[in-house]
């Protein structure tokens, strides 16, 4: 193939992006009594964190683990149904506390020099709320393995080979930070 016949880098990246994007999963706002009292636990953790009016909790019905998230403008906190199936109660509580910390960060206008700092702050909040480092580490370990597998599978389908180290290394840094973290005896509102 002549050099002029090759697609541009922009065209290759656009094709890769189109191939890797997953259709938006159906959204379902959690109602009282659904998902084993998930909504009640969410509200209790929000109250413990000093968040009197938490955004709605949305479950994304998806076979993929994906990420939980406090959506951009914090109109909702979302979690994928597959993730709820894989986590135990302590891990779900940590996940909810982590995402609610992002809500708190946004509402207080907290700024971090990197996304890693924001994530580590939210990880510390999860440990502070649950008192359970091991559950948070187990959740991150699961996310690293599941997300890496999903990302690698998608990339291999699209381009035939895949780097997976970035997700694992970022999560490994967070795991190390949690392991070193010593929760304070202060209440979450005093942080």
Token digits for 178? 């949690």
Token digits for 53? 């009016």
Domain ranges of the chain: 25-184
CA 6-157-5 angle, to 5 degrees, is 5
The CATH superfamily label for domain 25-184 reads Metalloproteases ("zincins"), catalytic domain (3.30.2010.10)
Specify the pTM: 0.72
CA distance linking residue 15 with residue 184, whole number of Å: 48
- Tens digits of residue pLDDT in 116-164: 788 899 999 999 999 999 999 999 888 877 766 666 566 656 655 544 4
Contact 155, 124 (CB under 8 A): no
Residue with tokens 């510390």: 124
Give the count of alpha carbons within 13 A of 150, CB side only. Answer: 17
Residue with tokens 């002029």: 4
Closest CA to 88 of 34, 167, 129, 142: 142
| Weakly modelled stretches of the chain, pLDDT under 50 | 1-2, 162-165, 187-191
């Amino acid at each position: 193939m002549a050099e002029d016949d090759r697609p541009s880098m922009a065209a290759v990246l656009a094709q890769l992006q189109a191939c890797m994007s997953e259709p938006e999963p159906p959204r379902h706002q959690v109602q009282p009594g659904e998902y084993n009292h998930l909504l009640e636990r969410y509200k209790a953790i929000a109250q413990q964190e000093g968040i009197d009016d938490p955004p709605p909790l949305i479950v994304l019905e998806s076979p993929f683990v994906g990420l939980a998230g406090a959506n951009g403008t914090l109109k909702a906190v979302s979690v994928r149904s597959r993730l709820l199936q894989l986590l135990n109660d302590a891990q779900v509580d940590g996940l909810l506390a982590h995402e609610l910390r992002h809500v708190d960060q946004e509402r207080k206008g907290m700024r971090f020099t990197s996304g890693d700092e924001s994530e580590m702050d939210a990880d510390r909040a999860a440990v502070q709320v649950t008192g359970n480092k091991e559950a948070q580490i187990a959740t991150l370990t699961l996310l690293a393995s599941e997300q890496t597998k999903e990302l690698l599978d998608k990339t291999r389908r699209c381009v035939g080979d895949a780097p997976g180290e970035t997700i694992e290394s970022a999560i490994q840094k967070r795991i190390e930070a949690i392991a070193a973290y010593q929760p304070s005896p202060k209440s979450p509102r005093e942080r």
